[in-house]
Amino acid sequence: MSTECMNNSPGPGVNELLAELEVPFSLDQVQWRVTNTTNNNKRGQVVPYANPRAYTDRLNALFSPQGWTREYKVETMSSITRVKKNESILSGKVLVTCTVIIFGLWSHSGTGEEWADADNSVTSADAQAFKRACSCFGLGRYFYDIPVRWVDLDQSRRPIRTPVLAAWALPENWRKGMRPQGKNRYGNASAEAQEGDSNKGNTSHGKITSRPPDGNDGNDEEQAEKSNSSTATNFDDDLDARILALERDVGTAFYRNILREYGRVNQPRLIRDAAVKLKVLQMLESVARVIDRLEAVTKRIDPNAVQALLVQLHAPPLGAITDIRTLQHVVLGLEELAGSNPSQAA
């Protein structure tokens, strides 16, 4: 089944839909972004991404334009001083939350952020939030299994030659079962990716097996069904272990809050829906990354300045924060404080 054209056949099962969502984009939809360069700008690090339209096309192809929708919530943080071109300017942050809803299945949310003074700041944050929400369904997550690489750049700081993707990242090979090496992966897995980001925490999950190849007889289908059941069990066990391991990284209070808010349980093994379990894991991994940023920035700031910012944001003490939105606001504020006011450094 092609994911580039509208599917008019009867609706496939959930496993097949998830498998098709996770198939890599076609080569003509993959672009490359330079994220870092050498001092002489002759070489740069590049990461692949796809335009939001590619994500929309895939959702339309699988579910029809009437089968899914998205909702946005836009917030702003004002009066933030940032350094731009060696000058301190008063700016703000645009924070966007996008919820993608697939009717008859479930919904997932993602967040995006951009400086308010940047060109097309809302559009950029919207795209980032939309693609992060899509990644919770597995769409586009394979990008983070593609290593960052160095390439030669032209005078416009663009790759002289388009990088070659690994064979497993091509749709036709993915459908044949090829997967990245060195990963504890299941057949059609997920890896978070969004436009402009590079390697913010690789993730690997369990397997959801796609349909058997055309022409298989009944015995092959029965065997595939047994394989799906066995793989699903291994998938759940793997997710449970990884979720439990994150309690140490995020703290018990934050850990339990995420489980209750997104899983409605106190233990990961009580979550029956694999998609919900994936969402819990992704949220905990996101919290762990933000906590790492918090620990790094607080080492550079005077404790009195930290306390003053918490009062300004009406936030609880650092150890008492148990929701990711508040944590993100605090970390963003502290990072700006550390970058724009060196005198506040400890």
Q: What is the pTM of this model?
A: 0.51
Q: Express each pLDDT in 5-21 by its tens digit.
A: 333 333 447 778 888 99
Question: Which amino acid type is present at position 129?
Answer: A
Q: Count of alpha carbons within 13 Å of 218, Cβ hemisphere only?
A: 0
Is residue 345 pLDDT above 60, yes or no?
no
Question: Which amino acid type is present at position 264?
Answer: R
Q: What is the pLDDT of residue 338?
A: 86
Please list the residue range(s) of the chain that carry CATH number 3.30.390.80: 1-201
**pLDDT tier at 69 (50, 70, 90 boundaries)?**
very high
Q: Could you tell me which residues come within 8 angstroms of residue 152 by beta carbon, excluding any fewer than 6 positions away?
A: 42, 43, 159, 160, 161
- The count of residues in the chain is 346
List the one residue out of 198, 194, 305, 285 whose CA is nearest residue 239: 285
Is residue 190 pLDDT above 90, yes or no?
no
Q: Express each pLDDT in 136-180 by its tens digit.
A: 888 998 987 888 888 899 988 889 888 888 888 889 889 888 888
In which residue are the tokens 């998830």 written?
18
User: Is-contact 342 305, C-beta < 8 A?
Assistant: no
User: What is the CATH topology of the domain spanning 1-201?
Assistant: Enolase-like; domain 1 (3.30.390)
Q: Express each pLDDT in 282-299 by its tens digit.
A: 889 889 889 989 999 999
Q: Express each pLDDT in 79-136 by its tens digit.
A: 777 766 667 777 788 899 999 999 877 889 999 888 888 888 889 999 999 999 999 8
